[in-house]
Amino acid sequence: MPLCRSTLLTTMLVAKSLGFRAAPALRAARTQVTMAAMSADAIAEKCLVAKKASGLTYDAIADKMGYTNAYTCQLLLGQAQLKAEAKAKLQDLLPKLDKATLEAMSEAPFRGFDDDILKEPNVYRTYEAITHYGKAIKALINEKFGDGIMSAIDFYLTVGETTGKMGERRVVITFNGKFLPFIEQMADDNSAPSPQG
């Protein structure tokens, strides 16, 4: 029975970290992953070709899928998982997407980014705004909610547009994340304490 992609990748990473040489079974597993898995870049390339062929915008696809526009974009860039119940709908919207790509999109993705993205002016300016306002954002969250953070897992992101007083177009980026309070670590509440040597 073929192993799932995540199991194969985990096995390979553990073996590598422990310094094991690839045994025949592990080499076979690596071959299986290479053949079965599709990188986020490869998914993105196929999705963007299919999106262009469809003539649809991210907003149009998002509206028809019921997603936020940022999540839709993440999905097409290989940074979010395509759920089984949404696969047929996406295939209808982007008929150029092949079965292999849709299957790859259904796997839990390896989320991440290339450091070079921070050199891109659009991304750099957004990053700069977050870091510049970082202390103020933290102070306001703490004042309004208490000691904790905004989740980036239970999280919604949308990119929109408004018009300024002078008639200029303005970008509106909205972060909507669940508040996660830091806990007071009471020993009696710890359901899995470490053994005390």
pLDDT 10s digits, 78-89:
999 999 999 999
Extract long-range pairs of 165-173: CB within 8 Å, 24+ residues apart.
173/126
Which residue of the set 6, 39, 103, 128 is catalytic? 128
Does position 113 have pLDDT exceeding 90, yes or no? no
pLDDT-derived band of residue 25, with 50, 70 and 90 as boundaries?
low
Query: What predicted TM-score, i.e. pTM, was given to this entire model?
Result: 0.76
* Helices and strands of the chain, counted as H and E runs: 9, 2
Distance CA 60, CA 43 (A): 20
Task: Retrieve residue 92's tokens.
Answer: 């209808």
Which pLDDT value is given to residue 171?
Answer: 97
C-alpha 85, offset from chain centre? 19
- Cα separation, 110 vs 126, in Å, equals 23
Mean pLDDT of 35-40: 70
Q: Are 12 and 29 in contact (CB under 8 A)?
A: yes
- 106 is an active site residue: no
Mean pLDDT of the chain: 87
pLDDT reported for residue 24: 52
The pair of three-digit structure tokens given for residue 150, joined into one six-digit string: 């905004």
Q: Give 32 or 110, the one with higher predicted confidence.
A: 110
DSSP SS3 for 163: strand
Give the pair of three-digit tokens for residue 55.
């003539």
**Residue of 27, 111, 125, 170 with catalytic role:** 125
- List C-alpha distances in Å: 189 to 42, 179, 183, 184, 186: 46, 21, 11, 10, 5
Closest CA to 107 of 73, 69, 78: 78
pLDDT digits (tens, 9 = 90+) for 160-193: 999 999 999 999 999 999 999 999 999 999 999 8
Q: Is 128 a catalytic residue?
A: yes
Angle between helices 5-17 and 24-36 (to 10 degrees): 130
Alpha carbon distance 90, 158 (integer Å): 20
> Residue 120's pLDDT band (boundaries 50, 70, 90)?
very high
Within 8 A by CB and 6+ apart from 96, the residues are: 49, 50, 53, 54
Q: Is it the case that residue 34 has pLDDT exceeding 50?
A: no
* Annotated catalytic residue 85: no
Q: What's the pLDDT score for residue 68?
A: 97
Q: How many CA atoms lie within 13 A of 62 on its CB side?
A: 16
Please write the tens of the pLDDT for every residue from 123-155.
999 999 999 999 999 999 999 999 999 999 999
Q: What percent of the chain has pLDDT over 70?
A: 81
- The residue from 5, 151, 168, 194 that is catalytic is 151
